[in-house]
Amino acid sequence: MTYIASDTEAMLEGDDNERAFVETKRQHPLSGFWRTPKSRVGLIIFAAFVLLAIVGPMVAPFNPNALTDDLLQPPSLKHIFGTTLTGQDVFSQFLVGARSVMVVGLIAGTVATLLGVIVGINAALFPGFADEFLSALANVFLVIPALPLIILIAGFIPNGGGWITVSLVISVTGWAWGSRVIRAQTLSLRNRDFVQAARATGKSTSSLIVFEIFPNLVPIIAGGFVGTVNFAILSMVSLSFIGIGSSSDWNWGTILFWAQGQQALSQGAWWWFVPPGLAIAILGMGLTLITLGIDEFVNPKLRAGGLDLKALKRAKVRSRVGYTAVLPEKGRS
Amino acid sequence: MKYIARRIIFYLITAWAAITINFLLPRLLPGDPVQALLLRFKGQISEQATQSLYVLFGLDKSQSLWSQYISYWVQLFRGDLGLSFTFFPTPVSQVIGQSLPWTLVLVGVSTVIGFALGTAAGVIAGWRRGGWTERLIPVTSFFSSIPYFWLALLLISIFAVNLHWFSDAGGYDILTDPGWNLDFILSAAYHGILPALTIVISSFAGWMLGMRNMMVTVTSEDYVVVAHAKGLSERTVNFAYAARNAILPSVSGFALSLGFIVGGTLLTEMVFSYPGIGYTMFQAVQAKDYPLMQGMFLVITFAVLFANLVADMVYVFLDPRTRSEV
Amino acid sequence: MNDARSEDPVLEIKNLCVSYGTGSGEVRALENITVTLNRGEVLGLAGESGSGKSTLVYGATRLLSPPGIVTSGEVLYHPPTGGEAVAILRVDDDKLRQLRWNDIAIVFQGSMNSLSPVFRIERQLTDVIAKHRPASSRIERSTRARELLKMVGIPQDRLIAYPHQLSGGMRQRVMIAMAMALNPDVVIMDEPTTALDVVMQRQILQEILRLRSKLNFSVIFITHDVSLLIELADRIAIMYAGRIVEEGPAQDLYRNPQHPYTYGLLNSFPSLHGERKEIVGIPGSPPDLQNMPSGCPFTPRCPFAFEACHKSMPPLTGSDQFPREAHVVACHLHSADSARVPIELSSPRVRGSV
């Protein structure tokens, strides 16, 4: 199960109750994000895959559909990821497949996030029936299990549709979570002093939204976007694995579909199914790390910062809640 | 109790939405495979069955959309979900009835174990901040991102094919008689271990990360400091004060997680050919068995809604603030 | 020398230094604080937000949350039986836990967050008894819980209530009752009335005084409102930017404030009687602890600042006016020759009136 920051809402509720947390030196806010090793690693992984998606199909050594005589070969110099039962080069399939996966993931992520933002902001800023209705709608979509719904919808589309259709289907099921978090944050912001102040000076609602509220929503939206992309990629791969979606259009799920169908397991052809799955896992991990990084950024309590833990460890001093660390005496006090 | 009442109303609305989606889908999307299949099986289907399929898929163009909708509801209430094409002429409800228990047991057991282990791990990780627990996070992120079905493939490859410790397919040894006899139960349990393991491993990381983050947030709350100031033992503070409060969002977030886990379970079943709803769904998709697909979607959704209701009741039990009549 | 400090100390804080964070990001929150609580007295700690008053007591009892860290100093607790003093900062965890609540208890602010939302009041009152008096029975503990509620004037039916069902005033009383549970020697009160309205404030303060005369504990009372302390405290310590800038008997401080900051604080609230004065207040805001100016930290806001103020930190000592160490102040105006002392900060004798 992908990690979902379901506690984000709980965090937001506690937002106004800030204790005196003394920040370290003033820095550009985003630099804190980059500094976290989690986010850095996550971003690097993500960038690597984006690169793969762009470059992949161009550098594939073989046509992924091409049948050769090297049947079910383990990895070699010629076929880096080995071959399939029909002699197709797994590595080429992998490279070509990267693009579909990333494209669908990003499109679905973008559309879903957009929907979530629109619904979330509207629901929070225009209370009343609209809010009730939209929130109910979001909750309905949240509770209905996503994958069965996606399978159902996609199953009705003849030939599974191209990647655009798949992206749309995934967006329709995946927008709800982001909208809920955004709504919670917008509500909390709406009552903050600076918004009240802006309102008092007569600013129009739209400029309020754009200049006051939106900048504070960016980290939450970013977190939601990353999470949704993760969800989209997993859903898309799952769909292809089942056989929905065009099976001639290469993506990592399709590779696994064929691997499963052609008994790769019982024949011990590990090279066939390990790389695609591993890639999905690594990409997912990268995205999760980014989400965690954003979580820490939004909720400073999660940061381990402030204390140089290594220095304390050297001094054999542990810093715990309830037992403040005390530096050892230097000589007699 | 107002809280539970509100939740029930919400679930009823969601159920209604699911049913309506089911109703609208075949009518909105292009293609008319049902007709074709009806023609193929003509003569083998009873008049009654044909009629029910008409109602389900809106094949009677003479009726208005609204009256079709009413007929649909009436039929659902009678429990008639149509006939399955793949398992012709078995009614859909029967097919589902046979596969549902397998899935329920699998998901039920795995989710409970995964939740228990993951939450416990999260408590420990949140408690002992810094040091080795922080380094665990990338590892758990990795594990939480592994697609269920790939993990299933991996486990089969390692444990079933190579080590021959567990079976690689099926829900039970076909040589045993299904029924409440020990042989069968043991065999079912044996076959269920790898699928269950898949689900537990995949969901564990998600629970753990969520719980850990919540523990970190909670330990900085005032009441935890107060508990320490009272001189209570660290264990008491961490479990009775911190964890007890930190677990609440995990329970309330159960809804989101369950949808995910169900999806993952379906995929796992497909890989293992485990005779539950997932595998049957897989077969339905392959065969374009629309009545079955639709029926399963409804049943799965209702089951998830029910599980959510149970989770809500647990939440009310845990959090006195929801019980307030104030 | 009749040193008021050597009466009978129950809690001695010596040269306490507390920082937030370590290394390059270190913020020094407390600089060399030395203050003593004598047995049976009420010591008031006053100052603005961020002055370090809460940091002081939490640092001294090791309850400061990370990244807070005690960098040096000593805190001694003297048990009433006259046994060996306990070095709070150095003892092991077990001994610390024994000491906590039993000997030194804290009345936290009665906000929503100070009580665990999922436990009933009775449980939160009795779990500490169960821990420190393991031999007690459930009935004994329950009885004690009832006693405690009665002590602070809360109806008995509130025992089975949850924190969110109580009003702010009631929650604060619960916090007080909770602190009394084990009859501690020292009670530290961290802004117990800040979140309450004036009427409730009065009630709570009276409650506290009553309990004190009955149970005889020593008190450290933290507040940003000096006016409360005038009536309540025996001695008052004024804190600014992590340092004690003035300390002395409450009445002395009130009648004859020596530090410009104290003077500003005292004149920031209107008096109900006497002639109408112009409220002065103190312009400016507390300094950024990460960017402390050299010299006295109050200089930018001080109406009486002169050259010496920018150069060095004034030591906390008795002044010409009060050579005995009963009333000390950290201000160059007083450590230099008495000609510098402005009329506002001079002794009543010099001022003539009032």
What DSSP string runs through C71-101?
A: EEEEEEE--TT--PPEETTTS-HHHHHHHBT
The confidence band for C322, taking pLDDT boundaries of 50, 70 and 90, is low
Q: Which pLDDT belongs to residue B57?
A: 72
DSSP letter for each residue of C252-315? HHHHS--SHHHHHHHTTS--SSS---------S----GGGPPSS-TTGGG-TT--HHHHH-PPP
Model pLDDT, residue B132: 65
Q: What is the domain count for chain B?
A: 2
Residue B87 lies inside a defined structural domain of this protein: no
Burial of residue A167 (CB within 10 Å: 0-12, 13-18, 19+) is buried
Residue B267 included in any domain: yes
Task: Kindly state whether residues B109 and B67 are assigned to the same domain.
Answer: no
Name the pTM for this structure: 0.81
Chains linked to C by 3 or more Cβ pairs within 8 Å: A, B
**Do residues B167 and B248 share a domain?**
yes
Nearest chain C residue to B219, by CA = C65
B125-139, pLDDT tens digit by residue? 887 766 666 777 777
Same domain, B180 and B284: yes
CB within 8 Å of chain B, chain A residues 271-300: 273-274, 276-277, 280-285, 287-289, 292, 295, 299
Q: Are residues B57 and B132 in the same domain?
A: no
- Mean pLDDT confidence for C133-153: 91
- Are both B73 and B97 inside the same structural domain? no
One domain, residues B6 and B34? yes
Q: How far is A25 from chain C (nearest CA, A)?
A: 6
- Let me know whether B119 and B71 are in one domain: no
Identify which of C162, C316, C320 has the alpha carbon closest to the alpha carbon of residue C246. Answer: C316
Confidence category of residue B241, pLDDT binned at 50, 70, 90: very high
The CATH number of the domain where B245 resides is what? 1.10.3720.10
Q: Which amino acid is at B200?
A: V
The CB density around residue C17, as the number of other CB atoms within 10 Å, is 18
Q: Are residues B26 and B142 in the same domain?
A: no
For the cut 70, the answer to whether the pLDDT of residue C352 exceeds it is no
**Residue B311, domain member (yes or no):** yes
Least confident of A212-216, B274-278, C87-91: A212-216
Q: How far is CA A293 from the centre of its chain?
A: 12
Mutate to test the interface with A, among B81, B139, B150 (most CBs of A within 10 A): B150
Give the best residue of A22, A27, A320 to mutate against chain C (max C CB count within 10 A).
Answer: A22
Residue B324 in any domain: the answer is no
- pLDDT score for A72: 76
Using pLDDT thresholds of 50, 70 and 90, give the confidence band for residue C74: very high
Mean pLDDT of chain A: 75
Tokens of C123: 């449980």
Alpha-helical (H) ranges within B78-181 are 92-127, 132-145, 148-155
Q: Pick from B77, B109, B127: which residue ends a domain? A: B77
The answer to whether residue B9 is domain-embedded is: yes
Do B286 and B222 lie in a common domain? Answer: yes
- Both B11 and B125 in one domain: the answer is no
Give, for C19, the enclosing helix (H) or strand (E). strand C9-20
Q: Where are the alpha helices (DSSP H) in chain C?
A: 53-60, 93-99, 121-132, 138-151, 168-180, 198-215, 226-232, 250-255, 260-266, 307-311, 332-335, 348-351
Closest CA to A223 of A305, A140, A289: A289
Q: Which of B77, B112, B140 is the last residue of a domain?
A: B77
Distance CA A262, CA A243 (A): 13
Residues 83-102 of C with CB under 8 A from A: 89-90, 93, 96
Nearest C-alpha in C relative to A333: C73
Q: How far is CA A309 from the centre of its chain?
A: 30
B176 and B46 in a common domain: no
Residue B85 resides in a domain: no
**In the numeric block, which tokens belong to residue A320?**
């715990």
Q: Is A309 on the interface with B (CB under 8 A)?
A: yes
The phi and psi torsions of A298 (rounded to 5 degrees) equal: -75, -40
Tell me which of C134 and B291 has the higher pLDDT: C134
All residues of chain C having their beta carbon less than 8 Å from the beta carbon of residue B244 are: 116, 118
Domain co-membership, B196 together with B266: yes
| Domain limits for position B51 | 2-77
Q: Does residue B221 lie in a domain region? A: yes
B251 domain residue, yes or no: yes
Question: Of B77, B112, B133, which marks where a domain is finished?
Answer: B77
pLDDT of C239 above 90: yes
